[in-house]
Structure 1
Amino acid sequence: MGVAATVEKYLKAKQIDFTLLEHDYCEGSYNTARVARIDDHCLAKGVLLRDEDFHYTLCVLPTRNKILRHTLNQIFDRHMELVEEEELTEIFKDCAEGAIPALGEAYGIDVIWDEELMGVEEVYIEAGDHRHLIRLKQPDFAQLMQDKLHDHFSAERTRHSTLPKKYIRHEYEL
């Protein structure tokens, strides 16, 4: 499949240059970072939440992190909860189950992104399947997120460790 049609159309409309990184089939963002040999701090995952009025918000955060839902509830002054899998399938129709691109605007969804993502040179996001990642340079990622709500709403998971440097893909290898 490669890049989901909605995502590709969105990136073209925004005039964003990107490259595609192919990797072995893998599910789960932490596992994807390992298989793709990238630092899990550089892979931005999208987690869809909704409030009690069914208003959706896509949270974009580093894969190594977990959402601090209490913090999000304070930011929005709402009760935020995870969206059920069947709703995800309805919203992200052109994506494989569990391969949500961290580009909510492409799907008409509000976005909040964690400011920790500004600390990396490149940001990788799911392309919509379990075999490809979109690689964005930081200025391009920043451009996509410039008008979106941002804050610190996540924290590093203690059970995941950083991939050893010798396994991380470097610019010159791509």
Structure 2
Amino acid sequence: MNALHRMARFLDEHMIPFDIVAHPHTHTSAETARAAGIPSNRVAKGVLLDGVGCQMVAMIPADQEVHLGRLGLDHGVEFSLADEASVSRLFGECEPGVVPGLPNAWGVEMVWDDDLMAQPDVYLEGGDHKRLLHIETRYLRDIFGDAPHCHFSQPRMQPVS
């Protein structure tokens, strides 16, 4: 089963309506937003983090970055960015470099940023560099389940190319 099928099955099991949005091949979530003609704050990107004895995915708007210190204080764990090998190991069905928009479909712990709720809908990475899952924001709490959430993102410090 590929990543998109796993996520579609997960959404179907939770009775969450969604659309698949195709876009030209991209390498970053900011490029994806531009290629799909979607504001970058409506594309949710996953960032794999390493903590002491744990890994988790932080879901944030694509125009933001994880404020590791704020997230660490909130959870009492010091986090760092995981490497690409860890991403590939956890999400082998995904194309290299892609953290899927529904890491919980793999049983991976996650945390999500409250800024995602400010949008009418969100677009989640579909497991490859060419597709997004489009979901109304009102379903986020249903699909993210009891995953913790708070405000831990900040504007990107580096320009996005």
TM range, smaller chain: over 0.9
CA contact (8 A) 2:2 2:94 kept: no
Is residue 45–residue 125 contact of structure 2 (8 Å, CA) maintained in 1?
A: yes
Q: Which sections of structure 2, spanning at least 5 residues, go unmatched?
A: none
Which structure has the bigger radius of gyration? 1
Q: Which residue of 2 aligns with 1:31?
A: 31
Does the 8 A contact of 2:24 with 2:130 survive in 1? yes
Once the two structures are superposed, the pairs formed by residues 1-174 of structure 1 within 5 Å of their partners are 4-53=4-53, 55-157=54-156, 159-160=158-159
State the distance in 2 between where 1:5 and 1:86 align.
23
1:135 aligned partner, one-letter code: H
Equivalent residues of 2:2, 2:93 under 8 A apart: no
User: What amino acid is the match of 1:123?
Assistant: V
Q: CA RMSD in A?
A: 1.8
Structure 1 CA distance for aligned equivalents of residues 133 and 34 of structure 2: 15
SS at match of 2:41: coil
- 1:160 CA displacement: 4.7
Alignment TM-score, normalising by the size of structure 1: 0.86
Q: CA deviation at 1:110?
A: 1.2
Unaligned runs of 5+ in 1: 162-174
Distance in 2, Cα, partners of 1:135 & 1:60:
15
Calculate percent identity across the aligned residue pairs.
Answer: 28
Range with greater deviation from structure 2 (139-148 or 2-11): 2-11
Is 1:118–1:142's contact at 8 Å kept on the other side of the alignment? no
Runs of 4+ in 1 over 3 A off after TM superposition: 158-161
CA deviations 1:57-91 (Å, max 9, x no partner) are: 11000000011001111112111111111111111
1:48 touches 1:83 (CA, 8 Å); kept in 2? yes
